[in-house]
Amino acid sequence: MYNLRKIRGTLKGSVGEAIFISIKNHTHATKFDSYEWLNKLNHLEIPKKILNFLKANWATIDVFEFIVQGNFVTNLILYEIKTLNNYSSKGINFGRKPVITQNSLNFYLAALNHGYIVKSVYVILYDNWEFDINVNDFLPRNFNVWDGNPKYSKAAI
Protein backbone atom coordinates (compact mmCIF):
# COMPACT_ATOMS: atom_id res chain seq x y z
CA MET A 1 0.00 0.00 0.00
CA TYR A 2 1.28 3.49 -0.83
CA ASN A 3 1.32 6.41 1.57
CA LEU A 4 0.89 9.86 -0.01
CA ARG A 5 2.51 11.52 2.99
CA LYS A 6 5.74 9.55 2.58
CA ILE A 7 6.04 9.18 -1.18
CA ARG A 8 9.01 10.91 -2.82
CA GLY A 9 8.81 12.90 -6.03
CA THR A 10 6.14 15.29 -7.26
CA LEU A 11 2.94 13.28 -6.69
CA LYS A 12 2.07 15.02 -3.43
CA GLY A 13 2.66 18.41 -5.07
CA SER A 14 0.40 17.48 -7.99
CA VAL A 15 -2.32 16.44 -5.54
CA GLY A 16 -1.97 19.78 -3.72
CA GLU A 17 -2.27 21.69 -6.99
CA ALA A 18 -5.36 19.68 -7.95
CA ILE A 19 -6.94 20.35 -4.55
CA PHE A 20 -6.25 24.09 -4.84
CA ILE A 21 -7.69 24.52 -8.34
CA SER A 22 -10.77 22.51 -7.36
CA ILE A 23 -11.42 24.92 -4.46
CA LYS A 24 -10.29 28.23 -6.03
CA ASN A 25 -12.41 29.08 -9.07
CA HIS A 26 -10.86 30.46 -12.26
CA THR A 27 -7.37 29.15 -11.54
CA HIS A 28 -5.35 26.97 -13.87
CA ALA A 29 -2.56 24.50 -13.03
CA THR A 30 0.06 24.37 -15.76
CA LYS A 31 0.99 20.78 -14.87
CA PHE A 32 -2.30 19.49 -16.26
CA ASP A 33 -2.18 21.19 -19.69
CA SER A 34 0.23 22.63 -22.21
CA TYR A 35 0.40 26.35 -22.90
CA GLU A 36 -1.54 25.64 -26.13
CA TRP A 37 -4.59 25.74 -23.83
CA LEU A 38 -4.23 29.53 -23.88
CA ASN A 39 -5.15 29.54 -27.58
CA LYS A 40 -8.65 28.32 -26.68
CA LEU A 41 -9.43 31.46 -24.69
CA ASN A 42 -11.01 33.36 -27.57
CA HIS A 43 -13.44 35.10 -25.22
CA LEU A 44 -10.58 36.92 -23.45
CA GLU A 45 -8.24 39.63 -24.65
CA ILE A 46 -4.89 38.67 -23.20
CA PRO A 47 -2.09 41.21 -23.62
CA LYS A 48 0.91 39.85 -25.54
CA LYS A 49 3.16 40.64 -22.58
CA ILE A 50 1.15 38.29 -20.32
CA LEU A 51 0.72 35.64 -23.01
CA ASN A 52 4.44 35.58 -23.80
CA PHE A 53 5.31 35.51 -20.10
CA LEU A 54 3.06 32.50 -19.50
CA LYS A 55 4.34 30.59 -22.52
CA ALA A 56 8.00 31.25 -21.67
CA ASN A 57 7.60 30.20 -18.04
CA TRP A 58 4.91 27.52 -18.27
CA ALA A 59 7.09 24.82 -16.68
CA THR A 60 7.98 27.03 -13.71
CA ILE A 61 4.49 28.24 -12.83
CA ASP A 62 2.39 26.02 -10.54
CA VAL A 63 -0.99 27.76 -10.81
CA PHE A 64 -2.14 31.06 -12.25
CA GLU A 65 -5.26 33.17 -12.43
CA PHE A 66 -6.17 36.03 -14.73
CA ILE A 67 -7.51 39.26 -13.31
CA VAL A 68 -10.23 40.20 -15.75
CA GLN A 69 -12.29 43.33 -16.33
CA GLY A 70 -15.03 42.67 -18.84
CA ASN A 71 -13.25 40.42 -21.32
CA PHE A 72 -9.82 42.06 -20.95
CA VAL A 73 -7.05 40.49 -18.85
CA THR A 74 -5.52 43.29 -16.76
CA ASN A 75 -3.06 41.31 -14.64
CA LEU A 76 -1.95 37.91 -13.50
CA ILE A 77 -1.81 36.14 -10.14
CA LEU A 78 0.84 33.45 -9.79
CA TYR A 79 0.48 30.85 -7.04
CA GLU A 80 3.44 28.89 -5.66
CA ILE A 81 1.80 25.76 -4.23
CA LYS A 82 3.37 23.84 -1.36
CA THR A 83 1.73 20.65 -0.14
CA LEU A 84 2.64 20.00 3.48
CA ASN A 85 1.86 17.27 5.99
CA ASN A 86 0.45 18.05 9.40
CA TYR A 87 1.86 15.67 11.97
CA SER A 88 -0.28 15.92 15.09
CA SER A 89 2.67 15.50 17.43
CA LYS A 90 5.27 17.41 15.41
CA GLY A 91 3.34 20.15 13.62
CA ILE A 92 3.14 21.13 9.98
CA ASN A 93 6.09 19.88 7.93
CA PHE A 94 7.91 19.01 11.20
CA GLY A 95 8.10 22.77 11.85
CA ARG A 96 10.39 23.36 8.86
CA LYS A 97 9.92 25.96 6.16
CA PRO A 98 8.98 24.58 2.75
CA VAL A 99 11.76 24.47 0.17
CA ILE A 100 12.03 26.36 -3.09
CA THR A 101 14.73 26.23 -5.75
CA GLN A 102 16.87 29.29 -6.36
CA ASN A 103 15.51 29.43 -9.93
CA SER A 104 11.93 29.46 -8.65
CA LEU A 105 12.74 32.13 -6.09
CA ASN A 106 14.40 34.28 -8.77
CA PHE A 107 11.43 33.71 -11.07
CA TYR A 108 8.85 34.85 -8.52
CA LEU A 109 10.91 37.89 -7.55
CA ALA A 110 11.20 38.83 -11.24
CA ALA A 111 7.44 38.31 -11.67
CA LEU A 112 6.81 40.74 -8.81
CA ASN A 113 9.14 43.25 -10.50
CA HIS A 114 7.10 42.84 -13.71
CA GLY A 115 4.01 43.92 -11.75
CA TYR A 116 2.38 40.49 -11.40
CA ILE A 117 0.84 39.37 -8.12
CA VAL A 118 2.53 36.39 -6.47
CA LYS A 119 0.99 34.30 -3.69
CA SER A 120 2.22 31.38 -1.60
CA VAL A 121 -0.33 28.63 -1.09
CA TYR A 122 0.03 25.97 1.57
CA VAL A 123 -2.17 22.91 1.13
CA ILE A 124 -1.95 21.14 4.49
CA LEU A 125 -2.87 17.45 4.61
CA TYR A 126 -4.21 15.84 7.78
CA ASP A 127 -4.47 12.17 8.81
CA ASN A 128 -8.25 12.09 8.43
CA TRP A 129 -8.37 13.12 4.72
CA GLU A 130 -9.14 16.71 5.69
CA PHE A 131 -7.02 19.61 4.49
CA ASP A 132 -6.53 23.33 4.95
CA ILE A 133 -5.51 25.89 2.36
CA ASN A 134 -3.62 29.01 3.42
CA VAL A 135 -2.97 31.75 0.86
CA ASN A 136 -0.44 34.49 1.65
CA ASP A 137 1.59 37.10 -0.15
CA PHE A 138 4.81 35.58 -1.48
CA LEU A 139 7.68 36.33 0.89
CA PRO A 140 11.12 34.79 0.24
CA ARG A 141 11.82 34.56 3.97
CA ASN A 142 9.07 31.94 4.27
CA PHE A 143 11.11 29.41 2.26
CA ASN A 144 14.39 27.55 2.47
CA VAL A 145 16.29 27.49 -0.81
CA TRP A 146 17.31 24.01 -1.90
CA ASP A 147 18.56 23.09 -5.36
CA GLY A 148 18.65 19.35 -4.82
CA ASN A 149 16.95 18.57 -8.12
CA PRO A 150 18.11 20.83 -11.01
CA LYS A 151 15.39 19.40 -13.26
CA TYR A 152 12.81 21.74 -11.76
CA SER A 153 12.17 25.39 -12.42
CA LYS A 154 14.09 26.45 -15.48
CA ALA A 155 12.64 29.95 -15.50
CA ALA A 156 12.86 31.87 -18.74
CA ILE A 157 12.28 35.37 -17.35
- What stretches in the chain show pLDDT beneath 50? 153
Q: How high is the pLDDT of residue 40?
A: 87
Query: What is the number of residues in the chain?
Result: 157
Q: How high is the pLDDT of residue 80?
A: 97
pTM over 0.85: yes
Q: How high is the pLDDT of residue 78?
A: 98
Longest Cα separation, the chain:
50
- Tens of pLDDT, residue by residue over 103-144, are 999 999 999 999 999 999 999 988 888 999 999 999 999 999
Q: How high is the pLDDT of residue 151?
A: 55
All residues at 6 or more sequence positions from 12 whose CB lies less than 8 Å from its CB, including other chains: 4, 5, 83, 125
Any idea what DSSP says for residue 141? G
- Distance between CA atoms of 66 and 51, rounded to whole angstroms? 11
Task: Domain ranges for the chain, please list them.
Answer: 11-145
- Distance between CA atoms of 26 and 21, rounded to whole angstroms? 8
Q: How high is the pLDDT of residue 97?
A: 87
Q: How high is the pLDDT of residue 153?
A: 47
